[in-house]
């Protein structure tokens, strides 16, 4: 703020004005009002009053006839995020906000009232223009110091080279050109112009209309392949950023328990962001299920929701939103985007929807299959509430579910927007072709891995006595590999059953980690792999089986068994240590880190999330401010990693003291069994769960169990260490 700034307080807002050399002189007023858009007359009076205050601020500084811009920051009633819209009459504001909300968040809600969160008025006096003499003098002072051959846009040109320090205010340089300075080089492309401002800023603007672009070819080009690898992953990362910033629950916003990905027109995974592996490897099945069931009925602006384990879901708290991406004039989707988020509660027998003792899917929450969440741009909120309220164990906090669903909608919309922008740049055929090329490249990378691995078998026993058994058999002639889980225990009466999509995801993850190149995790990685999973087994249960622990626990055991059969990595902690607590109003869920397994030339890492999980823990300050608990200790569990030529990583110690009555539950593994070592390495230490009562008594808990916590009680958790590799 400049020395001539003034500060006033109109309404509930702020007024400021400043002048900076030749820059624009501005005055702004802002009023926080939280008023319905329907109060048109009162809003008009407020807006005109704000504008007049901004105008007077500049008039008082001697500025004549300032221009005033009025902005209304609008949102739906009950929403957090407001969108800036140029102030106008009621109908114009309504239409503009609806279009902006649909574009930004992927849906509109005509039944909900529109609220004006704030009004902003900005008065502007344009900067003083330079005289012709000044401009001519600047041009004389800004001659290029040299010319150099420059290859850009497929042609070589003799381009001028300038020193930035020699450019005077007002100097303009048309591209192609180079501007040198200490530590940086600025390239001014053809059809662009660089201008040096009075404040020393280098401003690049388009000087000529954009040239018509040609669509790229459909034949694979090595450079473009790398470009598209990163472009597709960047789209998924943009989706994740949109989801994180618009979500409301700590589970998604703080713990980052979500995943976003891009799919081709058939539902094949093209690229993902580095989110949760167990989500990413199974979402293709969900997308294909929607394509199979909906087919030609899919319309632009539709978004579908599901969590059904038999339809590519993992467990019920993981809700997946799937959005078709239509190109202009098309009647069928060109691509799909999907966002999967773990909701803090979706119903079920215990708060947090991770019941340790569930025996059927109904015990674990609300089952959703092929539900139309957004219909051609309109959110079906009443229908959603009806779904979450149904069943023997309905969701406990539907408002929070809907808030997070809106964030997932925004993520899918962002992905669609980015894909359409990519098509505008490269052409539809080119983008579709490179979706195939990145999958083909991933397939070839996996075939190169198959060329190097040896046949192997392994089995791992879980705390409940179930066994995961796998045999890996490469065929060097066809360059394919058979991954056979025959011999794995039958479907279990507990909730450790893992839907077959989980086994696919775990296999995809393991083989992708064997590839050294930086490629997206995608459908091509699975094409050379034949996965055999007996129906009715622990890894392919019948419909209706309890599965809440299969996603988080059995998936980790499948990964350990695969690495054991390959002989490349000792067992990691083999659990996610799923800890939930809550009551009818508040629910929380977290996975707790532990030790990772050691390998042939490295030690395991201590206190990390391993393999199929990639979430983080909520910051203690956030957790303690939202829930009645205190984090008494979070520390490295020294000595819990297995010894060996390379040592396994240590687990963690976590102690939470409760300040109010709540139900707490642990859903875990490796409390009675230990993470195995490999090639002579020692086992890691098993985990420990117990409740230390305020009266001094102690209650020991098994791998799965729950306890009613009272004020002063402490839930004490020690997570397993990783196995060692090689003899010490």
Is 103 domain-assigned?
A: yes
Cis peptide, bond prior to residue 340, ω within 30 of zero? no
The reported pLDDT for the residue numbered 31 is: 62
CATH number at residue 60: 3.30.1490
Of 414, 439, 464, the residue at which a domain comes to its end is: 439
Query: For 129-260, where are the alpha helices, taking DSSP H only?
Result: 132-140, 222-246, 250-253
Is 475 domain-assigned?
A: no
Is 622 domain-assigned?
A: yes
Maximum Cα interatomic distance, the chain, rounded to a whole number of Å: 89
Question: Beta-carbon neighbour count of residue 330 at 10 Å?
Answer: 12
At 149-175, the pLDDT tens digits run: 888 776 788 899 999 988 988 899 998
Is 457 domain-assigned?
A: no
Return the closest-CA partner of residue 592 out of 571, 623, 572, 613: 613
575 lies in the same domain as 600: yes
Helix (H, G, I), strand (E, B) or coil at 260: strand
Return all residues near 218 (Cβ < 8 A) that are at least 6 apart: 429, 430, 433
582 lies in the same domain as 726: yes
Higher per-residue confidence, 241 vs 326: 326
Classify each residue of 63-85 as buried b or exposed e, where b means 16 or more C-beta atoms within 10 Å of its C-beta.
beebebebbbbbbbeebebbbeb
194 lies in the same domain as 298: no
**Residues 529, 512 contacting (CB under 8 angstroms):** no
Question: Beta-carbon neighbour count of residue 443 at 10 Å?
Answer: 18
∠ Cα 398 284 575 (to 5°): 70
Is 554 domain-assigned?
A: no
349 lies in the same domain as 230: yes
pLDDT band at residue 563 under the 50/70/90 scheme: very high
**β-pair type (714-718, 456-461):** unpaired
Q: Mean pLDDT across the stretch 293-307?
A: 95
At 321-341, the pLDDT tens digits run: 999 999 999 999 999 999 999
161 lies in the same domain as 287: no
Higher per-residue confidence, 136 vs 391: 391
At 265-276, the pLDDT tens digits run: 999 999 887 777
The reported pLDDT for the residue numbered 18 is: 29
Q: Mean pLDDT across the stretch 629-655?
A: 97
Q: Mean pLDDT across the stretch 633-649?
A: 97
The reported pLDDT for the residue numbered 10 is: 27
pLDDT band at residue 212 under the 50/70/90 scheme: low
pLDDT band at residue 130 under the 50/70/90 scheme: very low
Of 408, 439, 470, the residue at which a domain comes to its end is: 439
Return the closest-CA partner of residue 551 out of 347, 314, 365: 314
166 lies in the same domain as 51: no
Return all residues near 69 (Cβ < 8 A) that are at least 6 apart: 86, 121, 122, 123, 124
| Average pLDDT score, the chain | 87
Q: Look up the pTM and report it.
A: 0.75
Higher per-residue confidence, 311 vs 692: 692
**Residues 83, 95 contacting (CB under 8 angstroms):** no
Q: Mean pLDDT across the stretch 223-249?
A: 88
Is 660 domain-assigned?
A: yes
Of 439, 465, 498, the residue at which a domain comes to its end is: 439
412 lies in the same domain as 429: yes
DSSP string computed for 73-90: EEEETT-S--EEEE---H
590 lies in the same domain as 722: yes
Domain that holds residue 192: 132-150+157-206
| pLDDT reading at 547 higher than 80 | yes
Cα gap 241→245, rounded to integer Å:
6
Q: Mean pLDDT across the stretch 555-572?
A: 97
Into how many domains does the chain fold?
4
At 183-208, the pLDDT tens digits run: 899 999 888 999 998 878 899 998 88
Is 706 domain-assigned?
A: yes
Q: Which residues pair with 656 in a beta bridge?
A: 631, 715
252 lies in the same domain as 311: yes
| pLDDT reading at 704 higher than 90 | yes
Q: In percent, how much of the chain has pLDDT > 90?
A: 59
Q: Mean pLDDT across the stretch 14-42?
A: 55
Is 601 domain-assigned?
A: yes
pLDDT band at residue 30 under the 50/70/90 scheme: low
695 lies in the same domain as 594: yes
Q: Which residues pair with 582 in a beta bridge?
A: 587, 663
Least confident window among 54-63, 119-128, 279-288, 714-723: 119-128
Q: In percent, how much of the chain has pLDDT > 70?
A: 91
The reported pLDDT for the residue numbered 616 is: 80
316 lies in the same domain as 422: yes
Length of the chain: 728
Cα torsion angle, 149, 151, 156, 161, sign: negative
362 lies in the same domain as 421: yes
């Amino acid at each position: 703020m400049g020395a001539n700034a003034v500060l006033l307080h109109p309404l509930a807002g702020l007024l400021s004005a400043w002048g900076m050399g030749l820059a624009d002189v501005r005055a702004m007023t802002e009023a926080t009002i939280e008023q319905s858009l329907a109060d048109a007359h009162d809003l008009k009076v407020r807006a005109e009053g704000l504008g007049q205050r901004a105008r007077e601020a500049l008039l008082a500084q001697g500025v004549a006839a300032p221009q005033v811009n009025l902005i209304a920051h609008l949102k739906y009633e009950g929403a957090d995020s407001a969108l800036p819209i140029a102030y106008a009459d009621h109908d114009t504001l309504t239409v503009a906000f609806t279009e902006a909300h649909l574009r930004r968040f992927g849906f509109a809600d005509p039944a909900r009232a529109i609220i004006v969160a704030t009004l902003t008025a900005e008065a502007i006096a344009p900067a003083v223009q330079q005289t012709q003499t000044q401009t001519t003098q600047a041009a004389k002072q800004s001659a290029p110091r040299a010319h150099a051959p420059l290859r850009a846009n497929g042609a070589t040109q003799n381009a001028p080279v300038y020193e930035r320090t020699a450019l005077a205010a007002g100097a303009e340089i048309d591209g192609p050109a180079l501007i040198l300075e200490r530590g940086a080089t600025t390239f001014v492309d053809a059809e662009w112009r660089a201008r040096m401002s009075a404040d020393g800023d280098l401003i690049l603007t388009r000087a000529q209309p954009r040239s018509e672009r040609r669509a790229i070819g459909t034949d694979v080009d090595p450079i473009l392949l790398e470009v598209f690898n990163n472009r597709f992953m960047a789209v998924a990362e943009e989706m994740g950023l949109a989801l994180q910033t618009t979500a409301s629950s700590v589970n998604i916003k703080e713990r980052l328990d979500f995943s976003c990905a891009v799919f081709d027109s058939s539902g094949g995974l093209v690229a993902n962001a580095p989110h949760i592996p167990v989500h990413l490897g199974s979402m293709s099945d969900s997308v294909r299920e929607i394509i199979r069931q909906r087919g030609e009925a899919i319309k632009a602006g539709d978004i579908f929701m599901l969590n059904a384990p038999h339809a590519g879901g993992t467990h019920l708290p993981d809700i997946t939103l799937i959005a078709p991406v239509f190109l202009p004039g098309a009647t069928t989707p060109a691509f799909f985007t999907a966002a999967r988020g773990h909701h803090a509660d979706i119903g079920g027998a215990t708060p947090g929807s991770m019941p340790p003792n569930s025996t059927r899917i109904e015990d674990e929450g609300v089952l959703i299959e092929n539900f139309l969440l957004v219909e051609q741009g309109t959110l079906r909120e009443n229908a959603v509430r009806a779904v979450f309220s149904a069943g023997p164990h309905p969701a406990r906090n539907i408002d929070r579910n809907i808030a997070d669903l809106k964030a997932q909608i925004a993520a899918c919309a962002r992905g669609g927007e980015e894909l359409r922008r990519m098509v505008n740049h490269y052409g539809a055929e080119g983008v579709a072709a490179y979706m195939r090329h990145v999958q083909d490249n991933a397939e070839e990378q996996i075939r190169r891995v198959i060329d190097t691995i040896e046949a192997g078998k392994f089995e791992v026993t879980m705390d409940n006595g179930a066994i995961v058994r796998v045999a890996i058999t490469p065929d060097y002639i066809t360059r394919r590999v058979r991954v056979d889980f025959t011999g794995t225990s039958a479907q279990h009466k507990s909730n450790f059953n893992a839907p077959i999509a989980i086994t696919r995801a775990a296999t995809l993850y393991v083989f992708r980690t064997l590839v050294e190149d930086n490629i997206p995790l995608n459908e091509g990685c699975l094409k050379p792999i034949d996965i055999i999973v007996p129906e009715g087994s622990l890894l392919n249960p019948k419909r209706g089986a309890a599965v809440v622990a299969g996603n988080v626990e059995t998936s980790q055991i499948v990964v350990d068994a695969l690495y054991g059969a390959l002989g490349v990595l000792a067992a990691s902690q083999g659990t996610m240590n799923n800890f939930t607590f809550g009551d009818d109003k508040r629910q929380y869920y977290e996975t707790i880190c532990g030790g990772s397994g050691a390998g042939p030339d490295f030690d395991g890492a201590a206190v990390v999330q391993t393999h199929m999980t990639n979430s983080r823990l909520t910051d203690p300050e956030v957790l303690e401010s939202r829930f009645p608990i205190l984090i008494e200790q979070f520390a490295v569990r020294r000595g819990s990693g297995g010894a060996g030529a390379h040592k396994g990583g240590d687990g963690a110690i976590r102690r939470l003291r409760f300040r109010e009555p709540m139900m707490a539950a642990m859903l875990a593994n490796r409390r009675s069994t230990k993470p195995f070592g490999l090639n002579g390495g020692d086992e890691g230490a098993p985990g420990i769960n117990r409740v230390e009562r305020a009266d001094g008594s102690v209650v020991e808990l098994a791998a799965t169990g729950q306890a009613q916590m009272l004020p002063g009680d402490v839930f004490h958790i020690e997570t397993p260490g990783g196995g060692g590799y090689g003899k010490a």
